Every structure is written in C-alpha cells, then in structure tokens.
Chains A and B, each alone.
Chain A
Amino acid sequence: GAVVSQHPSWVICKSGTSVKIECRSLDFQATTMFWYRQFPKQSLMLMATSNEGSKATYEQGVEKDKFLINHASLTLSTLTVTSAHPEDSSFYICSARSGYTDTQYFGPGTRLTVL
C-alpha cells in the first residue's frame, strides 16, 4: 500500500516551453502533497506544500509564478514549470502525506531536462 506515482518519469523540452508533472496517490487520500527538487549529487529541497482545494505554500526563494502547483483532488497534485530554462533542469520529486499514518510517501521522481 501507500504508492505514489509520478508522470512523466523523464521529460526533455525546449527552453521557453512549459512542462506539467503529475503526482498521484494511488491507494490513499492525501490532503497534503509536497514538491521537492534534487540537483545531481545533492539533497532534496522542499519547494512547496500543496493542500487540496487551496493555494500552495511556497518556500522562500521559490518563484510561485514559475512553478505552478494545483492540488485539485485528494489524489492528484500537478507541478507546471512555466517558461522553462536550462537552469530548471533537475529531478523533481513529490510526496503525499497519508492522513491515516501521518507518513510522507514519495513518488519515483521526474527528471526534467531543458535544452
């Protein structure tokens, strides 16, 4: 149980385009989802906290207009990287918190490469 999926697992796009990444909790409801970013050989950095039906809360230094987060249902959150640039290339990981176990379960991540 407690499976979180992400789609796509890998995406390459041209500079200036937008990319949407989906995060789904498959077998539980997640009122809260989180988006992290991980650069090569580095740690995970929290970007934003997403609550179902409300606006996301962004960490300091994260541009909310560039990284649009929508949490439309209890099982789906999306991260849209708008007007992507090469410096946005990174590994993006979502997690979903189970209200039942109060544990965060992580998705497998999405590798974004912006050319």
Chain B
Amino acid sequence: AQTVTQSQPEMSVQEAETVTLSCTYDTSESDYYLFWYKQPPSRQMILVIRQEAYKQQNATENRFSVNFQKAAKSFSLKISDSQLGDAAMYFCAYRSARGGADGLTFGKGTHLIIQP
C-alpha cells in the first residue's frame, strides 16, 4: 500500500515571502501521479498542481511549483510571493496509474498561515 507523509503540521510565512511544504511518499509502483490540494476553511478541495511520475520536468502553475525527486520519493510544493488567500490546509496526494486503483491517498496535511 502507498503512504504519503507530510512532516510539517503547520507552517507560517510572511506575506510576499516564499514557503516550501514538504511531502514524501512510499510506493513500489513506477507509474503514478502526485498532487497538491488546497483546502480553505470552506473545506472545498482545490487542485493546486499535478505531476506525472514519468515526467522529469517539475510542474509549475503560476506562483506554485514543485520539486519532484522520484528516486528520493519526495514531492515538495513551493509557493512564491505568498498571499493572504493562500492560507489553508495543504494536502499532498498520491494516485496510482494502475487501472481500477485511482482513488487518492492523502497525507495528513500542512496548515499554512500567512502573516500580513
């Protein structure tokens, strides 16, 4: 079974600064997908960024980028120019590429606080 570990229960960053959220995972599969989801107080899950394991290039979405290290099974999220609206729970998630097993496995989450 796959596991996802987020070792930072809470992170705090000053507005406009850069913050990196850590995520490691364990799997015996070679083909899979990794995601970062944001859950604001409304509890609506919002996809932040997605990475396919077969792609060496790190995914980027505007101010959000990842550092994907497949050999180390590490998938960190960097948020640049932090904004007050970035404050939320952030969940790292794993999805197998194997057919019929594509439910998401989530880490425990990191609570991101943005200080004005």
Contacts and interface: CB of A to CB of B under 8 A. Distances in A.
Interface of A: 32, 34, 36, 38, 42-46, 49, 57, 59, 91, 93, 95, 97, 103-106, 108-109
A54 to B, nearest CB: 11
B105 interface: yes
Contacts of B105: 46
Interface in B91-116: 91, 95, 100, 102-109
Interface of B: 37, 42-47, 50, 91, 95, 100, 102-109
Nearest 9 CB-CB pairings of A with B: A106-B45, A46-B103, A43-B106, A44-B106, A43-B108, A108-B44, A109-B43, A34-B103, A49-B103
A93 B45 contact: yes
Chain A: interface secondary structure? strand
B43 A108 contact: yes
Given A34-B103, A49-B103, A44 B91 contact: yes
A106 B91 contact: no
Given A42-B108, A44-B91, A103 B103 contact: no
Q: Which one of B100, B103, B105, B109 has the greatest number of beta carbons of chain A within 10 Å? A: B103
A36 B37 CA distance: 14
B100 A109 contact: no
B108 A91 contact: no
A101 B66 CA distance: 20
A42 B103 CA distance: 18
21 contacts: A36-B104, A43-B106, A43-B107, A43-B109, A44-B45, A44-B91, A45-B106, A46-B104, A49-B102, A49-B103, A59-B103, A91-B43, A93-B45, A95-B45, A97-B102, A104-B47, A104-B104, A106-B45, A108-B43, A108-B44, A109-B43
